[in-house]
Structure formats: structure tokens, C-alpha cells
């Protein structure tokens, strides 16, 4: 999720979870065009390790040699795995023949996975993320097998097609079809809204793992199912703001990032109703918004 799940947000989230609740996380995708990333560039996206939860680096691109060379750079970092994004449905990805554009070319997808696996060998697992298809889900099995044939050690399947983007309707049977088509573990993705959906998806589809994206922006505790207070929710957002400040972000950027989260936030009942949410979103003074969030974080409720 480009522009949100940066190292600052990821660090604040990971420190609130145990490995048994949250098995791993990924960076925002690094868009590889025709020049590979250097190890130092990869390291900045990866950020410092904060606990024992593994964090992988996600790459997106179609230039095979540049992706393979970037995989070499990933090997020189503390990344726990390398993930290849074949699911991004944005116009920018399609224009660059990357992301979900490669769902139209299973053999090319397989070749890219193989090129990165050959670089990483046994030193670093290579995983892949696909959507159920480009315009339809007729070839989800073929796409899953292509990733497996290329050497991916795990496959994440987002149950929507590229053309469906992020529609509210989801079809988890597409994940089931991928599970039945390959021997490698499958991680299901798409349509998870609450903690109970994690087990429901595993039970319904047979997938081994579940990846959560947008729902973790609304409730960062979705992985554990922990019910938190409004103060704890505000503390999370305030800590994220401080982490952004330490990384060099000014008040305007920090407030904008908080608004991205507040637009969908549900954790801790920090947002009481639509009018409360609108009041946060309508605040034009970045400093005032940041001060208000700090105040909410410091509120103590006495019994």
C-alpha cells in the first residue's frame, strides 16, 4: 500500500504484536524500472528491525535483469524474504507493464520469479503476489502454477481480478482454486474486514495464511483481535506522528498521513461517529490536528 505502510507506520504496528499473532510484513513495493536499487536504497525502505517479526522487501516491475539485480541488493540487507508484486491494479503499473499487467503473461511472470530465485538461492525465500486474473479469473490456476514453477516458496492470491480493483464483492473460491492447483503454501488476501475473517478465510479456502492490507489501516490490532481503548488508539497515531517527525517529516506531511488513517479508522472507538470523523478531516491547520491527537493520547480515564 504505497504511501501509507512506510517504515514508520510498520514499526509502530509491529511493536504492538507478537510473532504468533502477526507472522510477517512487507515494505511498500519498490517500483523497479530499468535501473536496479542499491542496497542502501533498499535498506531505507526496509527500515530498522524492531522485533522478531520478519519483514520482507516487495518489488514490482517487468524488467527482468533490473529486478534480478535488485534482488542482489536485497540479499545485502536484513530482509527476511523477497516478495514480487504481480497484483497492483493501478494505471501507473499497467502503463509500465508491471504489477497486474503481467497477469496476461504467465510465462513472463514465471521467468521473473525464476530470475530472482536464481539470485537468492537458498539464502532468501522468494514469494509472489497475484490477483485472481486480469479481466476475469479463468486462469487463476495457470497463474498460481506459473509462480510455483518459477520457484516461489509461497504465493499470495488476492481474490479480486485487476478489473475489479477493490470492489466490495469478493469471491474466495478463487483462492480455493489456487490452493488446489499448487503444492506451495497459499496466503489468501481480499475481503478481510475484522479479526474473525482471518480464521474464516483459512477455513473456507484452505489457505495456510492470510494477508491483511486496507483493514489494518482501520484497525492495526486486527491481527490479534485485541480490543483497545480510544486512548490506546490515539497513542498509536501520536507515536506514528512522532516517528514521521524523527524521519524528517514536517507538520503538513504528518497531518496528511494521519488523515489518511483517520478517514477509515475504526480501532478503539476513537472516532465516535460520522460528524467526529468529519471534524478531523476538515481540520486545515496541521499543527492543531497534531496537538489534538497528542491530547487524546494523553487522556487518562480514572475508574
Q: Residue 119, Cβ neighbours under 10 Å: how many?
A: 20
Where do we find the cell 490515539?
234
Residue 210: burial class (beta carbons within 10 Å; 0-12, 13-18, 19+): buried
Cell of residue 9, nine digits:
507506520
> pTM, whole model, 2 decimals?
0.91
**CATH topology assigned to domain 7-218:** TIM Barrel (3.20.20)
Cell of residue 124, nine digits:
532468501
CA pair distance 259, 283, nearest whole angstrom: 9
Show pLDDT as tens, one digit a residue, over the chain (303 residues): 566 678 999 999 999 999 999 999 999 989 998 899 999 999 999 988 767 899 999 999 989 999 999 999 999 999 999 999 997 766 665 555 567 789 999 999 999 999 999 999 999 999 999 999 998 999 999 999 999 999 999 999 999 998 887 777 899 999 999 999 999 999 999 999 999 999 999 999 999 999 998 999 999 999 999 999 999 999 999 999 999 999 999 999 999 999 999 999 999 999 999 999 999 999 999 999 999 999 999 976 544
Which one of the listed residues 26, 88, 120, 187 is annotated catalytic? 88
Kindly list the strands in the beta sheet with 82-86, ordered across the sheet, starting from the edge strand earlier in the chain: 25-32, 55-61, 82-86, 126-131, 154-158, 186-189, 209-211
Give the start-end residues of each E strand in 33-142. 55-61, 82-86, 126-131
Confirm whether 207 is a catalytic residue.
Answer: no
3-state secondary structure of 62: coil
End-to-end CA distance of the chain: 40
Among 140, 153, 256, which Cα is nearest to 190's? Answer: 140
Counting every residue written for the chain, the total comes to: 303
Cβ atoms of residues 12 and 243 within 8 Å: yes
Cβ atoms of residues 127 and 169 within 8 Å: no
CA pair distance 256, 172, nearest whole angstrom: 34
Amino acid at each position: 500500500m504505497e504511501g501509507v505502510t512506510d517504515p514508520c507506520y510498520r514499526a509502530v504496528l509491529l511493536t504492538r504484536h507478537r510473532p504468533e499473532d502477526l507472522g510477517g510484513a512487507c515494505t511498500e513495493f519498490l517500483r523497479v524500472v530499468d535501473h536496479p536499487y542499491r542496497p542502501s536504497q533498499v535498506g531505507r525502505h526496509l527500515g530498522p528491525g524492531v522485533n522478531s517479526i520478519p519483514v520482507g522487501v516487495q518489488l514490482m516491475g517487468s524488467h527482468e535483469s533490473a529486478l534480478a539485480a535488485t534482488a542482489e541488493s536485497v540479499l545485502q540487507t536484513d530482509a527476511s524474504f523477497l516478495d514480487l508484486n504481480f497484483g497492483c491494479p493501478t494505471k501507473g503499473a499497467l502503463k509500465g507493464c508491471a504489477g497486474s499487467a503481467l497477469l496476461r503473461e504467465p510465462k513472463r511472470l514465471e521467468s521473473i520469479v525464476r530470475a530472482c530465485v536464481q539470485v537468492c538461492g537458498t539464502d532468501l525465500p522468494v514469494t509472489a503476489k497475484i490477483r485472481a486474473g486480469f479481466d476475469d479469473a479463468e486462469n487463476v490456476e495457470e497463474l498460481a502454477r506459473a509462480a510455483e514453477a518459477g520457484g516461489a516458496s509461497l504465493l499470495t492470491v488476492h481474490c479480486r481480478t485487476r478489473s475489479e480493483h477493490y470492489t466490495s464483492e469478493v469471491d474466495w473460491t478463487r483462492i480455493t482454486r489456487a490452493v488446489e492447483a499448487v503444492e506451495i503454501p497459499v496466503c489468501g488476501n481480499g475481503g478481510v474486514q475484522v479479526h474473525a475473517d482471518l480464521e474464516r478465510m483459512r477455513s473456507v479456502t484452505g489457505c495456510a495464511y492470510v494477508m491483511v492490507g486496507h483493514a489494518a489501516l482501520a484497525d492495526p490490532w486486527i491481527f490479534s483481535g485485541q480490543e483497545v481503548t480510544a486512548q490506546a488508539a490515539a497513542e498509536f497515531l501520536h507515536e506514528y506522528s512522532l516517528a514521521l517527525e524523527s524521519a524528517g517529516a514536517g507538520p503538513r506531511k504528518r497531518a496528511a498521513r494521519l488523515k489518511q488513517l483517520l478517514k477509515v479508522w475504526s480501532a478503539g472507538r476513537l472516532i465516535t461517529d460520522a460528524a467526529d470523523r468529519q471534524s478531523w478531516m476538515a481540520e486545515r491547520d496541521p499543527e492543531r490536528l497534531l496537538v489534538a491527537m497528542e491530547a487524546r493520547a494523553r487522556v487518562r480515564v480514572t475508574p
